[in-house]
């Protein structure tokens, strides 16, 4: 009886506590995403598949993991009902996306980006909304993540199955032995490729509601092991520095970058849970605007590219500093201005 009470208390406590560590991981993830998209790396290191690319690329995996984690955590905490859930996602995610993709598509039409893809304007416009990243590359993420939202009932049902962990391991294996679709322009293939990370997030959240979560035991040792394995995969990558996109052509081929991301995510999860489970103002702020930063930074980088090509900045330090300033600083400024203008409606415009 007492064990039962303690178990319930533990479960309730874990559900009531704000997950500062998840907030902090979210901030780290968006920083990695923005850094990954900077062109300064190709100036510092001309190799297309470089050590920088290994560490920074596929930061999306971290976001997908967090998405799965929060989905399960909040579903267990508040209960889950599909229609209220999808309505919330339509308002907070799809609506801002449609605003940004409309703007991006108009830019694409003006710049005749449709010629680049061999399409005429109207099919290009429809296709752009469907796949997201035709003009502003990072927007590919939203059509994919929306597929996770649409399949939420399925994920909830699966997560309650006693063999969900086997399903998760299978999906993780698939994520490690597949690649993104070409140019990230197929949300279905992206959904399949990143499913392992989403399932991993759900599994970790499921584990938390246990009386003695596995993640809590020996977390320091697990952190060290994860970091060590991440380093090993990095060394393997340095000796085999090739990676190609293309979902169909790379099925069942080892994706060493994603394998490393598995260990990195586990390491970050354990590290932040053990040592950073508290409010850190800067990370908290970045986490709160992460969706807005995600939407806006692509536009900032396109603007920077245009300005940099006109200004012909050759000094590597000047180039790097200005790109960092534009990508983060200008993006944050735009976000704050939009939030000021739209007030309580900012969530439907920016996602934050």
Binding site for other proteins (CB under 8 A): 42-43, 46-48, 82-83, 86, 115-124, 126-127, 130-131, 147, 150-151, 153, 181-183, 185-186, 188-189, 244, 246-249, 314
Ramachandran angles phi, psi of 112, nearest 5°: 60, 40
- What is the distance between the alpha carbons of residues 138 and 59, in angstroms, rounded to a whole number? 12
Question: Smallest gap, in angstroms, from Cβ of residue 42 to other proteins?
Answer: 6
Q: Rank residues 143 and 201 by Cβ distance to other proteins and give the closer one.
A: 143
CB 105 to other proteins: min, Å: 13
Q: How far apart are the first and last CA of the chain?
A: 44
Rg (CA), the chain: 21
Q: How far is the CB of 141 from other proteins (least distance, A)?
A: 15
Check if the beta carbon of residue 141 is closer than 8 Å to that of residue 63: yes
- Torsion angle of C-alpha atoms 71, 75, 81, 87, degrees rounded to 10: -40
Q: Residue 230 or residue 237: which is nearer to other proteins going by CB?
A: 237
Burial of 132 (0-12, 13-18, 19+ CB in 10 A): buried
Residue among 181 and 196 whose Cβ is closer to other proteins? 181
In Å, how far are 17, 244, 288 from 281, measured between CA atoms?
18, 38, 10
Q: Write the DSSP symbol of residue 181.
A: P
Nearer residue to other proteins within complex by CB, 309 or 344: 309
Q: Give me the least distance between CB of 115 and other proteins, in Å please.
A: 5
3-state secondary structure of 141: helix
Smallest distance from the beta carbon of 6 to other proteins, in angstroms? 38
Looking at the Cβ atoms of 134 and 346, the one nearer to other proteins is 134
Contact status, residue 293 vs residue 335, Cβ threshold 8 Å: yes
Distance (Å, rounded) from C-alpha 40 to C-alpha 313? 11
Question: Which of these, 322, 340, 338, 311, lies nearest to 103 by C-alpha position?
Answer: 338
Identity of the residue, 17 or 45, whose beta carbon is nearer to other proteins in the bound complex: 45
- Closest approach, Cβ 121 to other proteins, in A, equals 8
CB of 97 to other proteins, least distance (A): 17
238 token code pair: 């340095």
Q: How far apart are CA 229 and CA 227, in angstroms?
A: 5
Nearer residue to other proteins within complex by CB, 155 or 269: 155
CB atoms within 10 A of CB 325: 12
Residue-wise DSSP of 194-237: HHHHHHHHHHHHHHHTSSS-TTTTTHHHHHHHHHHHHHHHHHHH
Cβ of residue 291: shortest distance to other proteins, in angstroms?
23
Q: How far is the CB of 108 from other proteins (least distance, A)?
A: 14
Shorter beta-carbon distance to other proteins: residue 257 or 262:
257
Q: Quote the CA–CA distance of 87 and 73 in Å, as a whole number.
A: 19
Closer by beta carbon to other proteins, 63 or else 319: 319
């Amino acid at each position: 009886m007492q064990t039962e009470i303690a178990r319930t208390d533990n479960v309730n406590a874990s559900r009531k506590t704000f997950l500062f560590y998840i907030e902090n991981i979210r901030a780290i993830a968006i920083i990695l995403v923005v850094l990954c998209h900077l062109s300064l790396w190709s100036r510092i290191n001309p190799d297309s598949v470089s050590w920088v690319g290994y560490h920074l690329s596929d930061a999306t995996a971290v976001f997908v993991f967090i998405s799965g984690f929060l989905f399960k955590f909040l579903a267990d905490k508040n209960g889950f009902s599909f229609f209220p859930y999808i309505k919330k996602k339509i308002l907070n995610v799809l609506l801002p996306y449609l605003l940004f993709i409309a703007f991006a598509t108009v830019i694409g039409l003006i710049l005749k980006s449709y010629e680049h893809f061999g399409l005429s304007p109207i099919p290009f416009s429809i296709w752009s909304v469907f796949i997201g990243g035709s003009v502003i590359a990072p927007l590919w993420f939203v059509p994919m993540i929306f597929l996770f939202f649409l399949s939420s009932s399925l994920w909830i049902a699966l997560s309650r199955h006693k063999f969900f962990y086997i399903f998760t391991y299978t999906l993780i294996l698939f994520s490690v032995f597949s690649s993104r679709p070409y140019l990230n322009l197929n949300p279905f293939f992206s959904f399949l490729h990143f499913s392992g990370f989403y399932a991993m997030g759900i599994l970790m959240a499921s584990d938390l509601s246990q009386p003695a979560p596995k993640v809590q035991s020996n977390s320091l040792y697990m952190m060290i092991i994860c970091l060590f394995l991440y380093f090993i995969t990095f060394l393997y990558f340095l000796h085999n520095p090739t990676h190609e996109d293309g979902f169909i052509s790379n099925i069942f081929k080892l994706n060493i970058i994603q394998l490393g991301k598995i260990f990195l995510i586990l390491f970050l999860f354990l590290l932040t849970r053990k040592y950073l489970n508290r409010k850190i103002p800067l990370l908290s702020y970045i986490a709160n605007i992460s969706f807005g930063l995600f939407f806006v930074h692509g536009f900032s980088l396109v603007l920077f590219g245009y300005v940099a090509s006109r200004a012909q900045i050759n000094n590597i330090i000047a180039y790097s500093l200005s790109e960092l300033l534009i990508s983060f600083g200008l993006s944050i400024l735009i976000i704050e201005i939009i939030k000021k203008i739209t007030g309580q409606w900012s969530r439907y415009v920016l996602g934050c």
